[in-house]
């Protein structure tokens, strides 16, 4: 009897030597300890952690030199047909940084 396993074909295999097996015996079931460890890793979000994550989204980046930023933003408006756009703002930010500008975070 020929048996095909994946891309390999085994020819003239004796059927008497074949033993059927169940798939469950080949899986690796998790023990009770592993299941408990997995549950422990899921931390409940505390109020402090939630506030910290929320504050990350609420912080605003403000230019350290607003006059320079305004100049490069106006240059971007002249250079690009569509403003505001991601490309125009990225170009303006790159020019601003190259001119020595920086950013600071404020809550807003």
Structural domain includes residue 72: yes
> Token pair for residue 95?
């020019």
Distance from C-alpha of 33 to C-alpha of 73, rounded to nearest angstrom = 58
The overall average pLDDT reported for the chain is 83
Pairing of strands 8-10, 59-63: unpaired
Would you say residue 28 has pLDDT above 70?
no
| Percent of the chain residues past pLDDT 90, beyond the cut | 39
3-state secondary structure (DSSP) of residue 34? helix
pLDDT in tens, 32-85: 666 666 666 666 678 888 888 888 888 888 999 999 999 999 999 999 999 999
Number of Cβ within a 10 Å radius of residue 96: 23
List the domain range (segments joined by +) for residue 71. Answer: 62-92
> Has residue 105 been placed in a domain?
no
Which residues fall within 8 angstroms of residue 18, CB to CB, at 6 or more apart?
A: none
How many C-beta atoms surround the C-beta of residue 90 within 10 A? 11
Q: How many domains does the chain have?
A: 1
Q: Residue 3's beta-bridge partner residues?
A: 10
**Residue 77 counted as domain residue:** yes
């Amino acid at each position: 009897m020929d048996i095909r396993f994946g891309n390999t074909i085994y020819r003239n295999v004796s059927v008497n030597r074949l033993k059927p097996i169940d798939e469950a015996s080949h899986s690796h079931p998790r023990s009770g300890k592993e299941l408990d460890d997995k549950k422990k890793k899921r931390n409940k979000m505390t109020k402090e952690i939630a506030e910290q994550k929320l504050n990350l989204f609420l912080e605003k980046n403000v230019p350290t030199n607003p006059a320079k930023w305004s100049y490069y933003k106006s240059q971007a408006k002249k250079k690009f047909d569509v403003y505001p756009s991601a490309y125009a703002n990225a170009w303006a930010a790159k020019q601003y940084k190259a001119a020595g500008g920086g950013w600071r975070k404020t809550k807003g």
